[in-house]
Amino acid sequence: MKPTYDDTRQHLLDTGHRMMAEKGFTSVGLNEILQAAGVPKGSFYHYFKSKEQYGQALLEDYFVGYLADMDRRLAQPRLTAYECLMDYWQGWQDRCILTGHGDECLVVKLSAEVADLSESMRLTLRDGAEKIVSRITTCIEQGQVEKCLPNDDARYLAETLYQLWLGASLLNKLQRTGQPLRTSMATTKRLLGA
């Protein structure tokens, strides 16, 4: 039975995610993706007009999954906002240490690489990062209402934390020790008043 339109498209995105998380956008050729996915070239162009459009769709798909997981983590019913935020950061730390460098995070892996190559991909990364910061901001504001988080500027604190963790993830790719992530966790606890 032939896979449906959405299944083939999603299969191409899932295959590309794994490959680009490991090698980056420019290091993975279209033929390599198609061979790994077992999809003919003509089928690829049925779904995507170019590798750049594919890259943008890949990032959009990544953010859908990432934000859904983030929403789940930040809205756990029996946890305070502080506990939800710490669960989110702990999950980030665990993923990066488990893999050694957190390559499954396409924001960390592709931001510097594609920002100057593709305006559409840069904008997709920018918009996705903005959605992440907005969710962190909302959780901090909830924690302020609960009186479990400091009454600082929530947006500024969210941006600071996200930038801290992105930087730590990049440093961890260089060091592969987990130390930058442990430092980020300690700093996060201090910034959140723990």
For 125-159, the DSSP string reads HHHHHHHHHHHHHHHHHHHHHHTSS--S-HHHHHH
Q: How many CB atoms lie within 10 A of CB 48?
A: 20
32-43, pLDDT tens digit by residue? 999 999 999 988
Model pTM score: 0.91
Among 100-109, 132-141, 152-161, 171-180, which stretch is predicted with the lowest mean pLDDT?
100-109
Largest CA distance in the chain: 58
Give the pLDDT band of residue 173 (cuts 50, 70, 90).
confident
Round the CA-based radius of gyration of the chain to a whole number and report it. Answer: 18
Residues 6+ apart with CB under 8 A from 57: 13, 47, 48
Give the pLDDT band of residue 106 (cuts 50, 70, 90).
confident
